[in-house]
Structure 1
Amino acid sequence: MFRIPTVTKNLLIINVLAFLAMKLLLPVTGVDLNDLFGLHFFMASNFQVYQLVTYMFMHGGWEHIILNMFMLWMFGAVVEQVWGGKKFLFYYIFCGVGAGVMQEIAQFFWVYFMLDGQQALSLGDSIGVMHQLSTQLNGLTTVGASGGIYALLLAFGMMFPDEKMFIIPIPIPIKAKWMVLGSIAIEFFSALSMPGSNVAHLAHLGGMIFGYFLIRYWRNHPGQSYRPGNTQFFSNLKAKWDARSQQHSHNEHSGNPDWDYNANKRANQEEVDRILDKIRKSGYDSLSHEEKQKLFDQSKK
């Protein structure tokens, strides 16, 4: 199993510590950290702009944080190793904020249609009513890292679309691209059928939408920001292959009969070296699907 990269590891630690602090402080002091750092509806009296960032580090319960942290570990570790820490963190925060913005918009229209159903109101009049109900609207609070994590799922699917994965309870492996499309469909129809649900389906979709357009922007402007921000992962991979090459070369000169095996290893190393050189010259997105798959397979060894 590969080592958890630095940013992903720190995000896991921060989320867990914030959750434990929330659980410990609430019964002892009565202070609800989810109320302070969760994302309130922007017409509510407790809304603060900083909550667009802090809400993604807060969680509502054990099931919520365990599932989110598992997905952050599973997809975040791979995406960070490919992109590098700085670019990965920017993408994660950017998409998390975008998910929060989408949730705010969704909540505004949900409240508007609820008020309009009771008494016909114009959009301007409804804003005045919401202002009067600002204290009651504090109950509309969003917490969780799901927006950023769904964006990581999208990034993984776009980088490794044909990578097969097992999803419980489905007994057969599913390609990443179909898993992404399935997730989009589920969240979209869930948002339509359950507009008042406690699950922020539109925030999940919002994270993926912001992630998609950011990745598309990076791909269309490779000279600006789409080159990997950290080549340490690729350098380590090359060093590992160099070390293996020296070991196999020594075995050959010692009369090792497995010449074909060693020859295949040498050819494999040369192919990896060529891919790494291509990344340094032209960026990760210049790789073909087969080259990306080979790097992904080697990152797991």
Structure 2
Amino acid sequence: MDDEQLPRQEPEDPRPQQRVPAFNLPPVILASLAVLIIVFAVMNLPWWSDDTLNWLYFTFSFIPARYALPLSQQGLEWLWTPVTYSLLHGGIEHIVFNSLWLMVFAAPVARRIGGTRYVIFWILSSAASAFMHAALYWGDQTLLIGASGVVSALMGAACRFAFPAMDGRRLPMREAHLNPRLTILDSLRSRTVVAYIVMWVAGNALVAFGITLAGDSSQPVAWDAHIGGFLFGFLLFSLFDRQPSIEVHEPAPFDE
């Protein structure tokens, strides 16, 4: 009887296996979420009087009417409100919705550009969103609050690298920050990116007509600030990116 051939066993790797955490966010994203939650908790402390709350919102919210006044009448609030408004939220649904989207889109951007550039990106995209809103509602006295403009900028930035891979493969979302950066034209050649942008624009168009798909429907949504943030992230992401762009002369296979 022939000897039975046993399957060859590979030697075991003596190195301890590294467990990949299911919930793994860059420290700067965790810090961002912590700041949003702390600010929300402070703004909702039960002992604030109405006058104090009104002062807090007036001092730290973005108000287009403030910039229609002569500089001598504006006060110093014009210096910080284009950023501080992004840290304020009007209710539980508002902050939960923005925090969830922040975790999804901010993580790959932060992994790619690093914590310092992420903070600078937040500051500048917040200002870009606010002044896009002010340009359309110049002199308006309503208060603009919320991080959705920054989240939209992160969505726009992610379109430049997170969705397509240059060789046609799709990296896992946890490794999406390793993709090469697409140029603006190459991004617009990707059907994946274009389809995402179309759906994003359609969602904001519905919001512009008063149809809220998610979040707090009882509060008006500054869809124009979303547009300003998205354009900032999509068009100017290369200024923050640490990886060089790679030009593609042929569309990736999955774009066919």
Q: TM-score range by the shorter chain?
A: 0.5 to 0.7
Query: What runs of 5+ residues in structure 2 fail to find an aligned partner?
Result: 1-21, 165-169, 174-190, 211-218, 249-256
In structure 2, the partner of 1:36 is 59
TM-score scaled by structure 1?
0.55
Q: 2:222 aligns with which of 183, 200, 207?
A: 200
CA contact (8 A) 2:35 2:87 kept: yes
Query: Structure 2: how far apart are the matches of 1:85 and 1:284?
Result: 18
Report how far residue 78 of structure 1 moved: 1.5
Q: Show CA shifts across 1:124-174 (max 9, x none).
A: xxxxxxxxxxxxx3xx10000000001111112221224699xxxxxxxx9
Q: 1:181 aligns with which of 195, 198, 202?
A: 198
TM-score scaled by structure 2?
0.64
> Are 1:91 and 2:121 counterparts?
yes
Q: How does 1:101-140 map to 2 (within 5 A)?
A: 101-108=131-138, 137=141, 140=142
Residue type matched to 1:56 in 2?
A: S
Q: 1:65 aligns with which of 82, 95, 100?
A: 95
DSSP 3-state at the match of 1:51: helix
Judging by fraction of residues, say which structure has more helix: 1
> Are 1:160 and 2:162 counterparts?
yes
Report how far residue 179 of structure 1 moved: 2.7
Query: Structure 2: how far apart are the matches of 1:86 and 1:287?
Result: 27
Between Structure 1 and Structure 2, how many residues are aligned?
A: 186
Q: Rate the CA distance shift 1:21–1:46 in 2: closer, same or farther, 3 A.
A: farther
Query: Structure 2: how far apart are the matches of 1:77 and 1:155?
Result: 12
Query: What runs of 5+ residues in structure 1 fail to find an aligned partner?
Result: 112-136, 166-173, 219-224, 228-282, 289-301
Query: Structure 1: how far apart are the matches of 2:48 and 2:207?
Result: 37
Query: Structure 1: how far apart are the matches of 2:40 and 2:193?
Result: 30
CA contact (8 A) 2:129 2:226 kept: yes
| Percentage of matched positions with identical amino acids | 25
Query: Structure 1: how far apart are the matches of 2:24 and 2:44?
Result: 29
CA contact (8 A) 2:40 2:89 kept: yes
Query: Structure 2: how far apart are the matches of 1:57 and 1:105?
Result: 21
Query: Structure 1: how far apart are the matches of 2:244 and 2:91?
Result: 38
Query: Structure 1: how far apart are the matches of 2:30 and 2:81?
Result: 22
> Are 1:12 and 2:27 counterparts?
no
Residue type matched to 1:13 in 2?
A: A
